[in-house]
Amino acid sequence: MSVSTVKCETCSQQFGKYRCPRCQMISCSLLCVKQHKDAKGCNGVRNKAAFVPLSGFNDLQLLNDYRYLEDLQRKLDTSSRLTKKSYWRSRNHFKLFKLRNEARNRGTRLRTMPLEFSKRRRNRTYYNRTHNSIRWYVEWKFPAADACFTSIVDETKCLSDALNEIMISSDSDPLRAHKLQRYTSRDKDQIKLLMKIEEKRVDYVRYFELDHHRSLRDNLCQRSIIEFPTIFVVLKEDWDKYQLEEKQDGHKSCDDSGNRNSLIANGQHSVKSPVVFPLTECRQESKDSCDSSVTACEDESPVESSIIR
């Protein structure tokens, strides 16, 4: 039966124009549609799971059922992905929190990104509680060879040893050996290890030089890292392409601070025997990266400071 040949079931004055998908009630205007929804509590949404007798089952009903099953499957898949994602976040939240705290205790400001970023998903840095050390996921970039390699480096390992492992592994890989041929034929004094200074303006691009003979932990002290360290291995002829930051004379190793923390924890120092160590001047923008137990500041002259219990 056509809708236009039936009177409106709400006002009974005009011929019908609309049929409700849910209750099949005929209305003539928007006002009548709203009145019938308020009166019967109808939401106007078709009941996709409503019973249809076999005599009334046709190709359209079959297509509606097929689309209904597809919609259910799509919602199940979405729910499953969200459940796995929330479980992964809750499981790794504590590990990430512990990693940031341990990095801060070593004088390193570790910044993490949301899970949706590829750099966050690629990061494999973790804290080894057994050995009380951070295993950094390091990205090595070789600009002269247009190559990039990654490795897991313990924070106590010397940078020269970590770089040698990358070079030695190229012996078993002919393609890598061909790419790093310009680097393997050079002496160490012709190669610089640089890292980009993070958390600066977009137009402020500066690098700081790493010490080959010091550990990764010492080199990352007083620095900001976004997810994981990215080290540029630069040859001598390309040094002028990388603008370095102004050298600061007060930069000290983190080893002294770590030893001092262990002595304080064991109660071997008191007010009567003060500890003397250099303090430095922190920039206001990165002041929170200096841990209270690690002296991550620099000054031109050392100042005496005593530990007050």
Q: What is the DSSP annotation of 188-247?
A: GGGEEEEEEPPSS-TT---EEEEPTTSBHHHHHTT-EEESS-EEEEEEGGGGGGSPBPPP
**Is there a contact between 138 and 147 (Cβ–Cβ < 8 Å)?**
no
Q: Of all residues in the chain, what percent carry a pLDDT higher than 70?
A: 73
pLDDT band at 175 (very low <50, low <70, confident <90, very high): confident
d(CA 27, CA 24): 10
The pTM of the whole model exceeds 0.75: no
Binned at pLDDT 50, 70 and 90, residue 278 comes out as: very low
With CA atoms as reference, report the closest residue to 25 among 55, 53, 46: 46
Tell me what percent of the residues of the chain surpass a pLDDT of 90. 18
Residue type, 272: K
pLDDT at 135 over 60: yes
- Per-residue pLDDT, 296: 36
Kindly state the average pLDDT of the residues 176-198.
Answer: 85
Backbone dihedral angles phi then psi of residue 119, each to the nearest 5 degrees? -65, -35
Average pLDDT estimate for 143-169: 88
Cβ atoms 179, 147 nearer than 8 A: yes
> What burial letters (b/e) apply to 235-252, b meaning 16+ CB within 10 Å?
beeeeeebeeeeeeeeeb
Q: Tell me: pLDDT of 250 over 70.
A: no
What is the mean pLDDT of the segment spanning 64-77? 86
Mean pLDDT confidence for 45-60: 82
pLDDT for 270 = 36
Counting DSSP H helices and E strands in the chain, the numbers are 8, 10
Answer whether residue 259 shows pLDDT above 50.
Answer: no
Mean pLDDT of the chain: 76
Q: pLDDT value at position 82?
A: 65
3-state secondary structure of 14: coil
If one compares 72 and 309, the residue with the highest pLDDT of the two is 72
Query: pLDDT: is 135 or 18 the higher one?
Result: 135
Measure Cα distances from 111 to 91, 229, 294 in Å.
Answer: 19, 11, 18
Question: At 95, is the pLDDT very low, low, confident or very high (cuts 50, 70, 90)?
Answer: confident
Q: Report which of 138, 101, 96 is spatially closest to residue 289, judged by C-alpha positions.
A: 101
Higher pLDDT, 26 or 261: 26
Mean pLDDT of 181-187: 82
Q: Is residue 279 predicted with pLDDT exceeding 60?
A: no
pLDDT at 126 over 60: yes
Confidence of residue 303 (pLDDT cuts 50, 70, 90): very low
Confidence band of 36 (pLDDT split at 50, 70, 90)? confident
Mean pLDDT of 81-105: 74
Can you tell me whether residue 3 is helix, strand or coil? helix
Cα angle: 105, vertex 249, 302; to 5 degrees: 70
